[in-house]
C-alpha cells in the first residue's frame, strides 16, 4: 500500500502531522484516449458516431432512452448497485488490469466514499497518497472515472457519492457545525451558503452526489442521531432543507440525497437495533411531522436523491414498500431522482424484519417497491447476481429494471456526467477546498449556532480588563474529536474551547487548565442507574480543578457529550450529564467563584441542577472546527449570541415523548403544589422550550398587522410586525411566527411554527418583519386524511420563542369574499390568481425576467373578452430547478365551473411554447400548476379582457 511518510491523528487530538511523497499533479486533467473526446461531445460507445445519448443538445429523456435501448441486462443491473470505495470493499485505489474481470467491467452505478480518508469507526484517516492534497485526490477520482468511460463498452460514467452533513467528508474540507448546530442558526441564507460550499468543494474533489441533508425530524432526545437533525419542527426542517438542497444543487454541481425516508427518527424508547423498528406514531403524526419535510424539499428544491431507511412503519419495512417508495414518493411527491438504500436496508428484510426468506427475495421486494441503487459495505455481486437471476427466471420484469435505470441515468445526465465527466481544474481544487472565504462562513455558522440558555446578573460577557486568571476545566475543554467524526471533514485543524480562550486572552490574563474528569466514568452507562462512589483518582482530578478555580477570578466549565455518548447507534437511557461531570460542576460552583457552563454535545441534556445553581450557561452543540474561537468570541462579548433552540430540553427522560409541536394541555396534569402536603405528582414543562434563547441585548415587539385579515382558503395574507433593539449592544433576534387553528374537525397542535426570520439590529434600531401566510400554513389532515383548510379563525402569534409570545391577532378564513370587501376589487381585474396576486401582471409585462409563481394546485385565471373564442395559448414557464412539471389549461363558460381542455408536461423554460386545443367560446381561461415552485414568465392570449 502506498504510504504517506507521516500521518498522526489520534482520536480526540486537535492537531495532526501530514506529509507525503512528492507526486507531481498537473494543473489541468487530460484523459488518455483522445480519439474519444470530440469537440463538444464524447464518443462513449466508441463507434465514431454522435449517438443521441452523447449529444449535449438533445433532451434529457431522449438521451436516456437512446442509451437504455443500447444497454444489456448486465449493464443495466450494474447501474443498480454501489461499489464502496478504497478499503471499504474496493481494495484498489486506482484501476488495475484485474478490473476488466470484475463485475464492474460492465459499469457501476456509484462508487461511495472512495479515497475520502475514512477507514472505519475509531481509526485514523487513511494514509493513502491519493487522499490529499485536493488536486491529487481529484486526479485519482478522474483516473477511476476514466476506466468506466474508456474501458467499458458504453462508457457510462459512475456517480461518485460521499457523505456531507457538516461539510463534505474528505481528509480536509470546510468543517461546519453538525446539522443540529446548523439548525440553531435559524438562518436560511447561511444554510444555503453551507450547501453551496459543500457542493462546490465536493465537485472540485471529484464527487458528484452528496448524502445530505438529513430531513429527519427530532422526536426522542435519547436517540443517538439527534446530533444530525435540524430540529423538532417539520416546518423548520423543511425550510432549512430546501435551502441546503438549493445550495448543494446550484447549477447541478452535485446531486443532493436527502435521508432517511421515512418515519425513521422516532423509535420506542430511543432503541435502534440497527433496523430502527416499530416507530410509535399514528398515521396523522407521520404525515404532519415526518412526511412534510420530504414532500416540500422534493417539490420546492428538486431533490435528486433519497435514501430509503432501515425501519418499518406499522409492520411494513420501508425498503420493500411500494406504497412509500413509489405511490407516495414518486406519485404524490413528484420525485424524479433515484432512491439509494441505507446500508443494509435490503439485507434487513430477511435478517431483521423477517419479511423476506432470503437475499434473493429481499432484492425482488426492494426493486419492485422502487429501489434504484443498493448501497452497503458488501460486494456488489451479492446484489447484482440475484438480481440478474430474478430477471432471467421471470421473477422480475426487465421493464421494471428499465424504469429503475432510467432514474439513475436521469440524475447522471442532470449533474453533467455525460458532458463533463472529469474534474479537470486540479489546481482549482487546491485553491477552492477550505479556502479563506469558506472558512469565514464556517466561523459564522459556529457563532450563530450558539444559544445563551442562562445569564443571571449579566455574568456574561466576561470583562477581560477585570480578570487576571481564568480557570478552564471539563472533559470537553480541550477536546476536538466532536469535529472530526464520520460524515464530515476528518483531519482539519480544530480550535478547542481551551485554545480559543487562550488565544483570546493572550497577554491579558492567565489561563489555568485541568481536565477535572473524563467524559464518562469506568462504570458508565450503568452509573446512570447506580450511584457508584468516586474513586481516589477521580476525586484527585476534581480537587485539582477546584484548586485552580479558587485561584481564578472566574471558572469556565466545559461539559456535555461526545463520540462515546452520542451518534449513530448510541442512544441513551438518561439525559443527565454523563460520568462525573455533575460532581465536577458542583465542586467548582461550591468555590463561590463566578462560573460559566459551556455545553458541547449532540442532544439536549437535563441540566436541572446547573439551571438552578450556575449563573451562566452556553449551549454550543458540536460547533465545528471553528467552535473554540466562536465560544471565546461569545464569552468575551466579541459576538452577541442569537441562536434559538430548535429542540426541547426535557427536565427528565420521564417526560419523553416531549417535543415540539405538542397537543393542547399536554403538560398540565399531575397537580401544581409540590411538597409533603401538596398534590403535585410529576415535573411538568420544559427545562428550556422550543425557540428559546437569550441575548446580551433586549428586543421589543410592536405593531402587529394582518393584511388582509379575512381571506379564502387559496388566498395569501401577510403578517407584519416591528422589532426594536432596546439594549446597548447590537444583536440578532430570531422572530418566530406560530399559528393555531382555533376550532377544527380534528385535534391540532397547540402551536405550529409557520414563519421565522433572523434579523440583526443595532442599538435603538427598528426593523419591520413580514411573513407570508398561504394555505400550507393553515392546512390540516381531516378525518378522511385529506389536506384541507377549514373555515374559521386562526390565532397568529409572533414571539421570541414558542412560550414567549409578544403579539397575537386573528386571521379569518371564509368560503368567499363579500362583494363589498376590498378583496373583491382584485377579482374584477382581468388576471387573478389563487396565490401571489400582487405579481400576476408579470406574465404580461414583456419582461422575461419577471414571473408569477405558485405551488402544486395553484392557478392563474384570465378573464376573456365577451363571446371570445379561444383555441390556444402561448406560455413561457419558469422553474429554478429545471425539472419537468405537469400543468393543465382549463376553460370556463361562467358560473365558476372550469373544465380541462389541455394537459401537458413542461420540459423547456423561459421560452414561449404554443399549446393548441379544441376551440370554444369561454369567459375565463385558467392555468393550473402540477408542481411546487413553478412560475409563468409570459403568456400570449389576445382574447384577454382589456
Active site residues: 342
Angle at 703 between CA 699 and CA 706, to 5 degrees: 125
Q: What is the dihedral of CA 37, 40, 45, 46, to 10 degrees?
A: -40
How many angstroms separate the first and last alpha carbons of the chain? 77
Paired with 616 in beta bridges are 455, 596
Chain position carrying cell 455574568: 459
Torsion angle, CA of 515/521/522/528, rounded to 10 degrees?
180
| Cα distances (Å, whole numbers) of residue 749 to 316, 409, 653, 744, 746 | 27, 42, 22, 11, 10
Is residue 697 a contact partner of residue 725, using CB atoms and an 8 Å limit?
yes
Q: Which three cell numbers stand for residue 329?
A: 414518493
Strands 766-773 and 792-799: unpaired
> Which DSSP category does 708 fall into?
S
- Please report which residue ranges of 698-788 form alpha helices under DSSP H: 775-778
CA distance 535 to 28: 61
The one-character DSSP state at 288 is I
DSSP type of residue 819: T
Backbone angles phi, psi at 913, to 5 degrees: -115, 140
Distance between CA atoms of residues 476 and 561, nearest Å? 8
Give the DSSP letter of residue 508: T
* Measured distance CA(850)–CA(17) in Å, rounded: 53
- Residue 169 · residue 175 · CB < 8 Å: no
Q: How far apart are CA 446 and CA 178, in angstroms?
A: 9
Q: Strand, helix or coil at 471?
A: strand
Residue 323, SS3? Answer: helix
| 8 A C-beta contact, residue 406 and residue 80 | no
**How many beta carbons lie within 10 A of that of residue 131, not counting itself?**
27
From residue 172, alpha-carbon distances to 124, 163, 176, 205, 483 in Å are 13, 13, 12, 10, 12
Buried b (16+ CB within 10 A) or exposed e, 490-508: bbbebbbbbbbbbebbeee
- Residue 283, all three cell numbers: 398515521
DSSP conformation class of 425: B
Residue among 886, 895, 830 at smallest CA distance from 857:
886
Pair type for strands 731-741 and 752-761:
antiparallel
Q: How many residues does the chain have?
A: 946
For residue 378, what is its C-alpha cell? 458488501
Q: Are 256 and 199 in contact (CB under 8 A)?
A: yes
- List C-alpha distances in Å: 299 to 260, 371, 858, 882: 17, 20, 13, 12
Where on the phi/psi map is residue 761: left (φ > 0), alpha (ψ -120 to 50), or beta?
beta
Eight-class DSSP state of 126: P
Enumerate the β-bridge partners of residue 920.
870
CB 635 within 8 A of CB 618: yes
Q: Residues 715, 821: contact at Cβ < 8 Å?
A: no
What single DSSP character describes residue 327?
A: I
Is there a contact between 890 and 830 (Cβ–Cβ < 8 Å)?
Answer: no
Amino acid at each position: 500500500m502506498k504510504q504517506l511518510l507521516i500521518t498522526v491523528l489520534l482520536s480526540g487530538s486537535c492537531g495532526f502531522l501530514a506529509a507525503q511523497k512528492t507526486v507531481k499533479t498537473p494543473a489541468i486533467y487530460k484523459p488518455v484516449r483522445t480519439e474519444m473526446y470530440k469537440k463538444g461531445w464524447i464518443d462513449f460507445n466508441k463507434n465514431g458516431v454522435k449517438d443521441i445519448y452523447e449529444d449535449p443538445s438533445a433532451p434529457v429523456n431522449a438521451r436516456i432512452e437512446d442509451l437504455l435501448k443500447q444497454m444489456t441486462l448486465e449493464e443495466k443491473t450494474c447501474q443498480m448497485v454501489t461499489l464502496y470505495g478504497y478499503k471499504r470493499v474496493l481494495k484498489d485505489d486506482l484501476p488495475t488490469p484485474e478490473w476488466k474481470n470484475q463485475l464492474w467491467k460492465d459499469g457501476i452505478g456509484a462508487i461511495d466514499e472512495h479515497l475520502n480518508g475514512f477507514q472505519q469507526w475509531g481509526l485514523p484517516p487513511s494514509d493513502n497518497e491519493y487522499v490529499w492534497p485536493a488536486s491529487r485526490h481529484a486526479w485519482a477520482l478522474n483516473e477511476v472515472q476514466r476506466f468506466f468511460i474508456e474501458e467499458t463498452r458504453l462508457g457510462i460514467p459512475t456517480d461518485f457519492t460521499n457523505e456531507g452533513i457538516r461539510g463534505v467528508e474528505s481528509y480536509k474540507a470546510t468543517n461546519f457545525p453538525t446539522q443540529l448546530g446548523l439548525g440553531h442558526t435559524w438562518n436560511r441564507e447561511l444554510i444555503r451558503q453551507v450547501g453551496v460550499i459543500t457542493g462546490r468543494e465536493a465537485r472540485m474533489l471529484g464527487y458528484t452526489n452528496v448524502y445530505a441533508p438529513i430531513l429527519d425530524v427530532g422526536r426522542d432526545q435519547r436517540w443517538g442521531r439527534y446530533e444530525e437533525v435540524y430540529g423538532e419542527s417539520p416546518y423548520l426542517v423543511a425550510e432549512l432543507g430546501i435551502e441546503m438542497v438549493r445550495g448543494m444543487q446550484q447549477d447541478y454541481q452535485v446531486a443532493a440525497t436527502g435521508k432517511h425516508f421515512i418515519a425513521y427518527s422516532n423509535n420506542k424508547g430511543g432503541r435502534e437495533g440497527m433496523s430502527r423498528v416499530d416507530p410509535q406514531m399514528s398515521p396523522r403524526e407521520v404525515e404532519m411531522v415526518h412526511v412534510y419535510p420530504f414532500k416540500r424539499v422534493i417539490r420546492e428544491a428538486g431533490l435528486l436523491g433519497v435514501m430509503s431507511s432501515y425501519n418499518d412503519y406499522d409492520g411494513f419495512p420501508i425498503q420493500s414498500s411500494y406504497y412509500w417508495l413509489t405511490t407516495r414518493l414518486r406519485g404524490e411527491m413528484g420525485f424524479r431522482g433515484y432512491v439509494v438504500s441505507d446500508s443494509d436496508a435490503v439485507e434487513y428484510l430477511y435478517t431483521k424484519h423477517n419479511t423476506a426468506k432470503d437475499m434473493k427475495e429481499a432484492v425482488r421486494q426492494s426493486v419492485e417497491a422502487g429501489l434504484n441503487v443498493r448501497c452497503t459495505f458488501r460486494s456488489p455481486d451479492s446484489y447484482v447476481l440475484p438480481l440478474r437471476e430474478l430477471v432471467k427466471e421471470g421473477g422480475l420484469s426487465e421493464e421494471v429494471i428499465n424504469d429503475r435505470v432510467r432514474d439513475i441515468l436521469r440524475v447522471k445526465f442532470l449533474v453533467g456526467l455525460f458532458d463533463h465527466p472529469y474534474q479537470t481544474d486540479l489546481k482549482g481544487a487546491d485553491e477552492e477546498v477550505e479556502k479563506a472565504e469558506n472558512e469565514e462562513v464556517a466561523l459564522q455558522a459556529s457563532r450563530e449556532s450558539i444559544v445563551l440558555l442562562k445569564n443571571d446578573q449579566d455574568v456574561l460577557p466576561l470583562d477581560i480588563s477585570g480578570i487576571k486568571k481564568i480557570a478552564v476545566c471539563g472533559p470537553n475543554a480541550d477536546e476536538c474529536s466532536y469535529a472530526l467524526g464520520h460524515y464530515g471533514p476528518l483531519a482539519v485543524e480544530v480550535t478547542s474551547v481551551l485554545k480559543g480562550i487562550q488565544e483570546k486572552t493572550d497577554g491579558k490574563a492567565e489561563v489555568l487548565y485541568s481536565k477535572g474528569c473524563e467524559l464518562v466514568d469506568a462504570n458508565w452507562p450503568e452509573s446512570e442507574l447506580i450511584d457508584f462512589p468516586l474513586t481516589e483518582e477521580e476525586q484527585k482530578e476534581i480537587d485539582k480543578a477546584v484548586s485552580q478555580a479558587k485561584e481564578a477570578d472566574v471558572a469556565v466549565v466545559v461539559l456535555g457529550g461526545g463520540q462515546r455518548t452520542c451518534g449513530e447507534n448510541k442512544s441513551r437511557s438518561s439525559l443527565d450529564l454523563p460520568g462525573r461531570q455533575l460532581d465536577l460542576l458542583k465542586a467548582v460552583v461550591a468555590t463561590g467563584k463566578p462560573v460559566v457552563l459551556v455545553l458541547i454535545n449532540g442532544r439536549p441534556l437535563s441540566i436541572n441542577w446547573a439551571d438552578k445553581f450556575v449563573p451562566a450557561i452556553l449551549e454550543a452543540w458540536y460547533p465545528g472546527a471553528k467552535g473554540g474561537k466562536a465560544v471565546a468570541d461569545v464569552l468575551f462579548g466579541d459576538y452577541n449570541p442569537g441562536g434559538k433552540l430548535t429542540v426541547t430540553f426535557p427536565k427528565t427522560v420521564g417526560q419523553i415523548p416531549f417535543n415540539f409541536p405538542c397537543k393542547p394541555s399536554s403538560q398540565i396534569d399531575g397537580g401544581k403544589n409540590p411538597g409533603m402536603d401538596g398534590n403535585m405528582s410529576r415535573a411538568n414543562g420544559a427545562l428550556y422550550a422550543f425557540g428559546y434563547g437569550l441575548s446580551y441585548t433586549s428586543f421589543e415587539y410592536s405593531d402587529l398587522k394582518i393584511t388582509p385579515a379575512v381571506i379564502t382558503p387559496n388566498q395569501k395574507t401577510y403578517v407584519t410586525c416591528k422589532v426594536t433593539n432596546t439594549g446597548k449592544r447590537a444583536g440578532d433576534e430570531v422572530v418566530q411566527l406560530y399559528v393555531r387553528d382555533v376550532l377544527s374537525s380534528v385535534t391540532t397542535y397547540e402551536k405550529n411554527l409557520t414563519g421565522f426570520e433572523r434579523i440583526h439590529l443595532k442599538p435603538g434600531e427598528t426593523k419591520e418583519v413580514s411573513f407570508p401566510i398561504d394555505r400550507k400554513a393553515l392546512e390540516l389532515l381531516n378525518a378522511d386524511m385529506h389536506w384541507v383548510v377549514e373555515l374559521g379563525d386562526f390565532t397568529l402569534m409572533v414571539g421570541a420563542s414558542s412560550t414567549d409570545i409578544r403579539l397575537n391577532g386573528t386571521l379569518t378564513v371564509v368560503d368567499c369574499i363579500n362583494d363589498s370587501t376590498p378583496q373583491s376589487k382584485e377579482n374584477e381585474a382581468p388576471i387573478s390568481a389563487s396565490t401571489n396576486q400582487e405579481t400576476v401582471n408579470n406574465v404580461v409585462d414583456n419582461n422575461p425576467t419577471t414571473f408569477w409563481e405558485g405551488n402544486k394546485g395553484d392557478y392563474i385565471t384570465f378573464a376573456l373578452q365577451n363571446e371570445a373564442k379561444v383555441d390556444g395559448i402561448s406560455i413561457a414557464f419558469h422553474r429554478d430547478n429545471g425539472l419537468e412539471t405537469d400543468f393543465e389549461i382549463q376553460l370556463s363558460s361562467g358560473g365558476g365551473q372550469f373544465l380541462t381542455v389541455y394537459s401537458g408536461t413542461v420540459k423547456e423554460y423561459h421560452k414561449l411554447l404554443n399549446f393548441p386545443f379544441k376551440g370554444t367560446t369561454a369567459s375565463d381561461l385558467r392555468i393550473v400548476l402540477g408542481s411546487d415552485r413553478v412560475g409563468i414568465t409570459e403568456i400570449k392570449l389576445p382574447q384577454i379582457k382589456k
